[in-house]
Chains A and B, each alone.
Chain A
Amino acid sequence: MATGTKTQTSPTTQAPPPKPKEGRGWLWSLLLGLLILGLVATVPFVGNAADLHNWTLIIMFAVLAQSWNFIGGFAGYSAFGNVVFFGIGAYTTGLILLANLPFWLGLIAGALVAGLFALLLGLPVLRLRGHYFAIATLGIAEAMREFVTVRDVGGGGGGLISLPLPSLDSYVLFFYAFLGLSLLCLLITVFLTRSRFGYALVAIRESEQAAEALGIPTYWHKVGVFVLSAVPAALAGGLYAYWATGFDPDTVFNVGISVEMVLLTFLGGAGTILGPLIGAIVFEYTSFQFQASGFTLHNTLLGLSIVIVTIFLPQGILRLIQEFARQPAPGERRANPFVEGVRRVRRFIAANGV
């Protein structure tokens, strides 16, 4: 919240609706994002091989969450099958590598194929809304996994692909490639918060009918952002393919990854610049700490986190901090900061209950 302004909001029982950043908020978010990525970039110098492995995956999930944020956070469309683009990117790159063609060609081909697939898929399914859209996207991911398995696309039995191993020091390169991709997604997100295209997406999220009435071609905006969210996911899939060197349909078309994208975005704050990045770092880092301590039930952890986040943090960490730091409205009695903060958070939570 800008501090100098005199604008004051009346006390409401509901949490303030998500709104685009005002003033210079976006600049601070961008700088903070660059700072976070800059700090993460030091991992190869200060950490060991295990740290590098973990942080590569953390940043990969950050990219996936950031790309989901375009369609889910900005346009408000609950795409639950975005893992399909990750898988398509991985398989396209894998097949190109198996044909002894260069890796960069595989990445580009993966992005193109996934983008085209998103366009062709988006044309029918983006006419659907709400539950129907969500299930249709979930269904395509399941159907694709089944198709790749039954047709044995990878040629290794059940769709399995095995690639030649990349040399060991190139793991650092993969890490920086993921980091660069995350930076790209950050810049796209900032662009979305500052451009007509992004405003139109937020308008669609808040009320699609009103957006349509304002003359926004909502359908084509939705198709556009669907493709936009598919391409980074496919690039991440292509990088993952060569980094992991072997994968099967159950790994790269795992619907759990889709859900993880959604969770990470929600945890940080959907529709914000930094939300997906922060959510990914917080959750995945915690998850790796659990794994290191011998707790192997990843899905239990994921499920429990989802339950906790959806009940207690439906607006994400960032908005929770904003709510804590908010100036008290006129007539609002100011208790000590901690009690006041807890009261605000409880109001935040109670808004969704019966």
Chain B
Amino acid sequence: MSFGQVLVNWLLLGSLYGAVALGFSLVWGIMNIVNLAYGALIIVGAYTAFWLYTDLHIDPYLGIPLTMAVLFIIGWIIQYVVINRVIRAPMLVTFLLTFGLDLLIIDLVQQFFTSDLRSINTAYAGNGIDIGSTHIPLPSLIAAAIAILLTAALNFFLTRTRIGNAILATGMDRDAARLMGISIRHTYALTFAIGAALAGAAGALLSQLYPFDPSEGGTFTLRAFVIVVLGGLGTPWGVIAGGLVFGLAETVFPLIPGVGPGYDDAIAFAVLVLVLIFRPNGLLGKPFYS
């Protein structure tokens, strides 16, 4: 494989990973909740896109906004009905609760869609752009572009709109935000809903690139965590940076003699521990919201 090809693969994978961790970072940064159900929401997004494509024959890219809408509603309900009730409990409680939601959601997805491996294959999935000997697959390119677009949109929303500012303010100081007339209950529900919608978008993108089954949720949660740790909790752009660094680790590690493929989670764990030992606030990170 040429150097150019490795570079292209890395950039495309890294941007995609940024999209995977975007919603996770938002929820963690604003509410100080590590949402262990995030991987399950990605899986729900992937299956929603799959269902829209196979049963309703909607093009997967047109399906992304629909998937995001479905996940937005699910996320709103989860936060408003369940997580809002334990938001002031010790961290261990929210951690346990979101893990419980993860188990519940994955089990339900398995009931509806069985645990078979699924994939979405469109007519144009094999297309690509060739520059010299370097092949750029079209679906990966579109996925990376959408990832960048979502990051920019989230950044714009948080910094330039009143509702976005309210979310940021709530993340900085809950009590001060309440005094300014912001409804914490609704802001949290909205934040979690946006996070879930981003998970849905990530799931819809992933479903067109890789085969998937319900058991993969945990892997995505772990990766999202590592990516956020790498990029820090500061801004949406930090997440893309974290995704690129993590993509690099996943591209380089299997090339080490004696390691070989198949160690995705081990790599994620190794990167996590290495980073946390030397930079407890993440590689590019600052403790922004805390």
User: If the complex has contacts A311-B86, A353-B86, are A72 and B92 also in contact, measured as CB distance less than 8 A?
Assistant: yes
Asked if B7 is at the interface (CB within 8 A of a chain A CB), the reply is no
User: If the complex has contacts A127-B277, A259-B99, A354-B84, are A299 and B107 also in contact, measured as CB distance less than 8 A?
Assistant: yes
Which residues of chain B come closer than 8 Å to A307, judged between CB atoms? 82, 97, 100-101, 104
| Contact call A136/B269, Cβ cutoff below 8 A | yes
| Contact call B86/A139, Cβ cutoff below 8 A | no
Which residues of chain B come closer than 8 Å to A127, judged between CB atoms? 277
Asked if A300 is at the interface (CB within 8 A of a chain B CB), the reply is yes
Which residues of chain B come closer than 8 Å to A314, judged between CB atoms? 86, 89, 93
Which residues of chain A come closer than 8 Å to B137, judged between CB atoms? none
Most central of B87, B95, B111, B229 by chain A CB within 10 Å: B95
Asked if B280 is at the interface (CB within 8 A of a chain A CB), the reply is yes
| Contact call A136/B272, Cβ cutoff below 8 A | yes
| Contact call B104/A304, Cβ cutoff below 8 A | yes
Asked if A143 is at the interface (CB within 8 A of a chain B CB), the reply is yes
B34, B100, B276, B277: the one within 8 Å of A305 (CB):
B100
Chain A nearest Cβ from B217, distance in angstroms: 11
Chain A nearest Cβ from B73, distance in angstroms: 19
Chain B nearest Cβ from A226, distance in angstroms: 15
Q: What separation, in Å, do the CA atoms of A125 and B273 have in the docked complex? A: 7
Which residues of chain A come closer than 8 Å to B266, judged between CB atoms? 143, 146-147
Which residues of chain B come closer than 8 Å to A109, judged between CB atoms? none
Chain B nearest Cβ from A68, distance in angstroms: 11
Which residues of chain A come closer than 8 Å to B101, judged between CB atoms? 303, 306-307
Chain A nearest Cβ from B178, distance in angstroms: 9
Asked if B85 is at the interface (CB within 8 A of a chain A CB), the reply is yes
Looking across the interface, which residue of chain B has its beta carbon closest to that of A77? B92
| Contact call B184/A354, Cβ cutoff below 8 A | yes
Interface size class of chain A, counting residues whose CB lies under 8 Å from the partner chain: 35 or more
User: If the complex has contacts A127-B277, A256-B103, A352-B88, are A139 and B82 also in contact, measured as CB distance less than 8 A?
Assistant: no
B34, B108, B184, B277: the one within 8 Å of A124 (CB):
B277
Asked if B185 is at the interface (CB within 8 A of a chain A CB), the reply is yes
Asked if A128 is at the interface (CB within 8 A of a chain B CB), the reply is yes
Which residues of chain A come closer than 8 Å to B157, judged between CB atoms? none
| Contact call B82/A150, Cβ cutoff below 8 A | no
Q: What separation, in Å, do the CA atoms of A306 and B37 have in the docked complex? A: 13
Looking across the interface, which residue of chain A has its beta carbon closest to that of B106? A299
Chain B interface, >50% SS class = helix
Q: What separation, in Å, do the CA atoms of A147 and B88 have in the docked complex? A: 37
Most central of B93, B111, B229 by chain A CB within 10 Å: B93
Which residues of chain A come closer than 8 Å to B107, judged between CB atoms? 297, 299-300, 303
Chain A interface, >50% SS class = helix
Looking across the interface, which residue of chain A has its beta carbon closest to that of B88? A352
| Contact call B269/A140, Cβ cutoff below 8 A | yes
| Contact call A310/B93, Cβ cutoff below 8 A | yes
Instruction: Encode contact with A along B72-99: 1 for CB under 8 Å, 0 otherwise.
Output: 0000000000101111110111111101
Looking across the interface, which residue of chain A has its beta carbon closest to that of B229? A132
Q: What separation, in Å, do the CA atoms of A299 and B101 have in the docked complex? A: 10
Looking across the interface, which residue of chain A has its beta carbon closest to that of B91? A130
Binds A, one of B145-153, B197-205, B218-226: B218-226
Within 8 A of A (CB), among B209-232: 218-219, 222, 225-226, 229
Which residues of chain A come closer than 8 Å to B59, judged between CB atoms? none
B91, B219, B268: the one within 8 Å of A78 (CB):
B91
What are the 10 closest A-B residue pairs judged by CB atoms, nearest first? Answer: A306-B100, A303-B104, A139-B269, A303-B103, A352-B89, A143-B266, A299-B107, A143-B269, A310-B97, A78-B92
Chain B residues in the interface with A (C-beta under 8 A): 28, 34, 82, 84-89, 91-97, 99-108, 111, 184-185, 188, 218-219, 222, 225-226, 229, 262-266, 268-270, 272-273, 276-277, 280
Chain A residues in the interface with B (C-beta under 8 A): 72, 76, 78, 80, 124-125, 127-128, 130-132, 134-136, 138-140, 142-143, 145-147, 150, 255-256, 259, 262-263, 266, 297, 299-300, 302-307, 310-311, 314, 349, 351-354
Given A132-B229, A304-B100, A354-B184, 17 more pairs with CB closer than 8 A:
A76-B92, A134-B92, A143-B266, A150-B262, A297-B111, A299-B107, A306-B99, A307-B82, A307-B97, A310-B89, A310-B93, A352-B85, A352-B89, A353-B84, A353-B85, A353-B87, A354-B84
